[in-house]
Every structure is written in C-alpha cells, then in structure tokens.
Amino acid sequence: MSRTERSRRQIFDSAVIEFEAAGVEATSMEKIARRAGLTRATLYNLFSGKEEIAEIIVGEKIGVWDAEIRQRLTEGSDPLELIVEALQRNAETCLAYPRIAVSVLTSPQRHAPSESRGRYPSFRHLIVDLMKAAQAERRLRTDLPPETLMFIVMGLYVQFMIHQIVKGGPMPPEAIPKLVRTTCEGIGPQERA
C-alpha cells in the first residue's frame, strides 16, 4: 500500500469516528487530521473538504454491491426487485453510519445522475439504469425519463431514511418493498379484485 493510500485509509477511519461522534457539520478537518495523525494540509491535498470525505465513505460501501447488482441485471434479474435490493442495501449503510447518512442525504447534490463520481459508483446512476431496464420491460411508465422516475423514488426514499434514522430502532423488513411498490403503483385508490 502506498503512503498516499495509507494516509487516505487513516483519514477515512478517523473521519468515521469523528462524524459518528459529532456529525459531519460539527466535525472539522482539523479534528480529522489530529485523529489521523496527519496535518490539515495533507487532508486538503487529498480532499476538497469533509463533505467529499463523507461522500467517499458512503461511495466505498455502495461500490461493494453496485457491480453485483449490475451483473444480475445483465443476467436478466427483475429490475424492480433490483431497485428494492439496491435501496435496502443503501438503507443498511445509512443505518450503520447514521450521522454520515443524514449529512449525505440532506446535502445538496453536486453531481448530476449521469455524471461519474470518479472511482466510486453513483447510487443515483445505478437507480437510473435500473429504471431504464424496468421501462424497457414495460414494468414502469415510459412517458417520463428514467431520471425523473429516479427523483420520485429517491425523494421518497431520502425522506423515509431520514425519518428512520431519527426514529431509531430496527427498520421493518417490508418497508422498502412497500415504498417501491407504492411509488410504482401511485397513491391513488387501489383497484379491488
């Protein structure tokens, strides 16, 4: 491992501790540097700020399962089931790092859904790709672009996750499948069989 990679790892490990103790907003780059045993200048040479560090911490977690979900999509798995799985895996990350998650979920997005985020996959880009696949199979409406559908689902998901984090306690296992199903079906009256 190179010196730079070692420093990055020290920064991430230190940032997780500081972020989870005080929240991203209340944590300074100075605190992260001190805990990591590095200078603040070193942090700024590697990252633009604490928000980028928080995004990368989350991005690394997403990268673990992003490729697996994309592979399953190419193998013909149901894209709606993969949307549910992606949201559930993201929820697990949010619940494991609640203070980082709240910061990332509530911060203004600096990247469009189609933009690459460098080394780490974009969660929104994954959801857009799954929406496109669901549209191609006529499982979702096709009169709106997949980016719009992603914003609808993600808007509800973000609010749900913030509520879940603030509420605390375990998340009901059926919560995300219900969220996706309700979003895809709409909130109008259900047809009776």
8 A C-beta contact, residue 11 and residue 32: yes
Please, which residues have CB within 8 angstroms of residue 78's CB and are 6 or more apart in sequence? 139
Please, which residues have CB within 8 angstroms of residue 155's CB and are 6 or more apart in sequence? none
Inside any domain, residue 193? no
Inside any domain, residue 5? yes
Q: Please tell me whether residues 23 and 106 are part of one structural domain.
A: no
Average pLDDT over the chain reads 88
Question: At 39, which CATH number?
Answer: 1.10.10.60
Domain count, the chain: 2
What CA–CA distance (Å, rounded) separates 177 from 80?
9
Q: Please tell me whether residues 72 and 42 are part of one structural domain.
A: no
Inside any domain, residue 36? yes
CB atoms within 10 A of CB 30: 11
Q: Please tell me whether residues 88 and 181 are part of one structural domain.
A: yes
Residues in the chain: 193
At 107-146, the pLDDT tens digits run: 766 554 444 445 667 888 999 999 999 999 999 999 999 9
Question: Helix or strand or coil: residue 120?
Answer: strand
Domain span including residue 161: 57-185
CB atoms within 10 A of CB 183: 18
Question: Helix or strand or coil: residue 140?
Answer: coil
What CA–CA distance (Å, rounded) separates 166 from 157?
14
Inside any domain, residue 177? yes
Helix, strand and coil percent figures for the chain, each rounded to 5: 70, 0, 30
At 23-65, the pLDDT tens digits run: 999 999 999 999 999 999 999 999 999 988 988 888 888 888 9
Inside any domain, residue 78? yes
Number of H helices, E strands in the chain: 9, 0
Q: Please tell me whether residues 18 and 38 are part of one structural domain.
A: yes
At 136-150, the pLDDT tens digits run: 999 999 999 999 999
Average pLDDT over residues 179-190: 81
Inside any domain, residue 114? yes
Q: Which of 2-16, 78-92, 105-119, 129-143 is predicted least confidently?
A: 105-119
